[in-house]
Amino acid sequence: MRIFKILFWGLMIGTITLVISQNLEFFASPQKLKINLWFWQYETPQTLNGIVFVGFFVIGFLFCYFIDFVELFKARRSVKTLNRECDKHVEEIGNLKNRLESLQKTSANNARARTSDACRCFRYVSESDGLEAEGMNALRTQL
């Protein structure tokens, strides 16, 4: 791609140089520019055509530059807005992860507590009645 760009710009500069060198008399000749709007007229002093072409090129270049400059500011503003929104989402994801971890710890602690309660129930039933089957049933219902 880089070689293509170099070739493209080389051809553009070569073509412009060729056109200017073959039409040097035209670009070196002075002429007046007239503006006639029926209610207002203006005539410039004699100016070289080359200077007029360069002037219009610079004006067009600056016009395009300022239009792109405005678009650049709009793009930067939208990027900042999207980055702020992304940061909010990342923060919310972190909060949700912390909440999930705390809920998992709480549920693990509750499961341990239920298991220890069921074991106590199992011991109580098996000690009082001597039947292990009832203790197993009690354990199953608790879990």
pTM, rounded to two decimals: 0.51
Tell me, what's the pLDDT at 117? 58
The CB-side HSE value for 119 (13 A sphere, CA atoms) comes to: 6
Residue 41: what are its φ and ψ, rounded to 5°?
-130, 145
Q: How far apart are CA 52 and CA 84, in angstroms?
A: 48
Q: How far apart are CA 23 and CA 46, in angstroms?
A: 19
Average pLDDT for residues 94-109, to the nearest whole number? Answer: 86
pLDDT band at 109 (very low <50, low <70, confident <90, very high): confident
Tell me, what's the pLDDT at 13? 95
How high does pLDDT run on average in the chain?
Answer: 83
